[in-house]
Structure 1
Amino acid sequence: MGTSTRWKGPAGGRWSNASRRLARLPEQPAKAAQRLESIADDQLRALHETLRADRSAFGLYDVASAAGEQLARVMGSLAAAGEESADALLARLIREVGGDGGTLADAAVRRGLATAVRDVRALHPELDHALDTGAARGGIASDILCDLYRFFFAGLVAEFLRSVVAEHLKLAVPVLIAVDPEERIAGSVANTVLGWLPSPCERADAPPEPGPAADPSPEPPPTLPEIAASMVPEVVGRALGLTTEETTGRKGAEV
């Protein structure tokens, strides 16, 4: 990670339309919040259209793929031991998965990790208790690891678009309103993307495909980290709109 060119800002088409709509946000908080969800959909479509036209745009595909593969590897150590606090867990993920690249995509990976840990802690309050009391020494539960995996990819896309929104707000200079446009758009994007992403746990629980009837020594089933690693191309493709699943329009779970 970190080898892609620095982002100079998207322009044209849906990107410009979102910028104009941000500049015209109504001052009433309720109306502004409703408008922001629609703008979030526009931003996500603009990103997907850009990446479909040029997969190398922003360096996001390569960075997301590399980070996902590294996260899958780290899942193995998290499943084997959990002798660290939640803050230490985040620091390790940032260090081992987030890297130190300076592009917007690299920064989105690190912020995506931070939001994923935050959302997993909110969804699984037992995690903090287990880490604090040492009860997680046997490893972090697989369902928590699978949520971390999915939330990371959703958070990465949301945090990338949060930066786009911040740039548009600087350009548009809208009137001050009583809502947080960046946070609302990022949250809406994350919820949408999350609904498109499969879970490694679901794949692990799926019945194995039948092999040759005369096979005397079937291979052992893949581990959860191995399944997660094998799913990275599919998950990145869905998150970045490079596969057709994102056209279903399904909303994800709250994060």
Structure 2
Amino acid sequence: MPDALERLDGIAAEHLAVLHRTLQEEPTAFGLYEAACAAGERLTAAVHVWTVARDGDEFAAHFTATVGGEGGTVADAAVRRAAARSARRLLEEEHSAGAPGGSGMSGEVFCLLYRGFFADVVAEFLRTAVAEKVKLVVPLLPALDPEDHIADWIAEHVLHLLPNPCEEATRRTESVEKAEQVVSAVEDPSIGSLRLVAHGLVPRAAGRALGLLSDRPSGSTDGTPYEGEPAA
């Protein structure tokens, strides 16, 4: 079993590397960057609706429909699957993290949801691309991956590349006059200004998830693009 998992890890890593190289050569390929940015903006724009206590199934359906959009491309299909996957994962964690269905969504849970969504977009695009036979120079997925190990590996790896809105909000306390308002937003179930921080990070989150940006030790922390960052 360890050998089999190592093989799947290798295939997952190769899929992700090929996708990143493809997009670095042609950033507009598949419309994936644009689709990810649009979905990220929809996520942050509607988050205040999701903080209202609601039935788990209702939340999942609303989240998927709102964030997933209605486009008909392979990228759009990947976004919808990512939205559904993120909603399911969030609901699985609700008992331990105060997600929808209880007292509302905490800032910490929102940041997990936000980063997990962008990671899922990449994983689901690769799964969809293979299923739809999109022209991507990438090895075929194994016939059997019953536990979705490859998609999980990709999502977990991409997650570590993404900016964290909670950490970004905390950093901004050093330069914002009313710092206490930003700090409280991280733990405030109403999300508050944290939503605005996350919205400003959408181009960076999409760019890093898709391999268009690398993590940099210094640079803009106010949501403005780095030099060379793809425009939203």
1:207: Cα distance to partner? Answer: 4.6
Deviation at 1:114, TM superposition (A): 1.4
Q: Which moved more, 1:86-95 or 1:38-47?
A: 86-95
Structure 1: give runs of 5+ residues left out of the alignment.
Answer: 1-28, 247-255
Structure 1 residue 162: Cα displacement? 1.3
Identity %: 38
SS in 2 for 1:244: coil
Give me the whole-angstrom Cα distance separating, in 2, the residues matched to 1:118 and 1:68. Answer: 17
- CA-based RMSD of the aligned residues comes to 3.0
Q: Radius of gyration: which is bigger?
A: 1
The answer to whether 1:196 aligns with 2:161 is yes
Which residue is 2:127 aligned to? Answer: 162
CA positional deviation for 1:191: 0.6
Aligned counterpart, 1:54? 26
Alignment match, 2:66: 96
Tell me the secondary structure at the aligned position of residue 215 of structure 2.
Answer: helix
Please report the TM-score for the alignment, with normalisation by the length of structure 1. Answer: 0.70
Q: 5+ unaligned residues in a row in structure 2: which ranges?
A: 134-138, 183-191, 217-232
| Map of 1:149 onto structure 2 | 114
Work out whether 1:37 is the aligned partner of 2:2. no
Are 1:121 and 2:86 an aligned pair? no
Q: CA contact under 8 A between 2:111 and 2:165: conserved in structure 1? A: yes
In structure 1, C-alpha distance between the alignment counterparts of 2:142 and 2:28, rounded to whole Å = 35
94 and 176 in structure 1: CA distance in 2 versus 1, 3 angstrom threshold: closer
Equivalent pairs, count: 202
User: What is the CA deviation profile of residues 69-112 of structure 1, one whole-angstrom value per residue up to 9, with x for unaligned ones?
Assistant: 11011123334x22x11211111112222112111111111111
Equivalence for 2:207? 237
1:70 partner letter:
R
* SS of 1:206 mapped into structure 2: helix
Residues 156 and 121 (structure 1), Cα distance of their counterparts in 2 relative to 1, 3 Å cut: same
Residue identity in the other structure for 1:180? P
Report deviation, 1:205.
2.2
Q: For 2:113 and 2:202, how far apart are their aligned partners in 1?
A: 14
Tell me how far apart the structure 2 counterparts of residues 208 and 185 of structure 1 sit (CA, whole Å). Answer: 38
Question: What is the SS of the residue equivalent to 1:102?
Answer: coil
How far apart are residue 229 of structure 1 and its match? 0.4
User: What's the counterpart of residue 180 of structure 1?
Assistant: 146
Distance 1:175 1:146 in 2: 33
The letter of the residue matching 1:199 is N
Note closer, same or farther for the CA distance 1:52–1:176 as it changes in structure 2 (3 Å cut). closer
**1:197, distance to aligned residue in structure 2 (A):** 1.2
Range 188-197 or range 202-211, more displaced: 202-211
Residues 98 and 109 in structure 1, CA contact (< 8 A), matched pair in contact too: yes
Q: Secondary structure at the match of 1:159?
A: helix
TM-score for the superposition, normalised by structure 2:
0.76
Question: What whole-Å deviation, never above 9, does each CA across 1:104-155 have from its counterpart, x for those lacking one?
Answer: 1111111111111222233342468861xxx42xx32111111111110001
